[in-house]
Amino acid sequence: MQFILQPFPTTQPLPNIQIIGNITRNENKLNLDYTLKGNLAEIDIAPPSDTASRKDELWQDTCFEFFLGIKDTPEYWEFNLSPSGDWNVYRFTGYRQGMAEENALTTLPFTVERRLDSLVISLDVNLDLIVLPQQAIEVAITTVIKSKNGEVSFWALTHRGAVADFHLRDSFAIEL
């Protein structure tokens, strides 16, 4: 399934970019590709790290994210992918409650490809450690973009709240 992310409405000027991608679930493997296109010179993109690892607060900078919940349950996971290669996965018991690192996932297999006019993040993760293959999942695809001038914009499939809030289950718009 293809997607295009939309910026949360703001009075601040937005960077001249587009965030598009694809998401599929085959058996219990989730494949997700983001492509950031446009004037990348405007965007603060972390350089590749030789020591990429699990890190907290990646959303403070440009970060590709998605939220995954089991249909008809309050629990969900937040996945953070930094262009540096750093990552994290958090588990929540309910809306912004019970946040903890998801220790069932000890790695997050994704790649970062820097092209002349785009940045491509590709993830291929086996969900068996957190979701049963027969369970329907709901997904929100999101991105935090930090401009070089320090302005932050929030991009998602849909924005359901009065403020940018990726945790709202109403925004988990894709069912797989």
Tell me the whole-structure pTM to 2 decimals: 0.97
Q: For 123-148, write each residue's pLDDT tens digit.
A: 999 999 999 999 999 999 999 999 99
Q: For 39-67, write each residue's pLDDT tens digit.
A: 999 999 999 999 999 999 999 999 999 99
Lowest pLDDT segment from 3-7, 86-90, 112-116: 112-116
Q: CATH says 2-175 is which class?
A: mainly beta
Q: For 93-106, write each residue's pLDDT tens digit.
A: 999 999 999 999 99
Q: Is the dihedral of CA 132, 172, 151, 4 positive or negative?
A: positive
In the chain, beta strands by DSSP E: 2-4, 6-7, 17-26, 29-38, 63-70, 76-81, 87-92, 100-101, 110-114, 118-126, 137-146, 152-156, 174-175
* 127 closest CA partner among 73, 71, 77: 77
Separation CA 153–CA 164 (nearest Å): 9
Contacts of 68 (CB under 8 A, 6+ apart): 30, 76, 77, 79, 127, 131, 137, 138, 139, 172
The domain segmentation of the chain, as residue ranges, is: 2-175
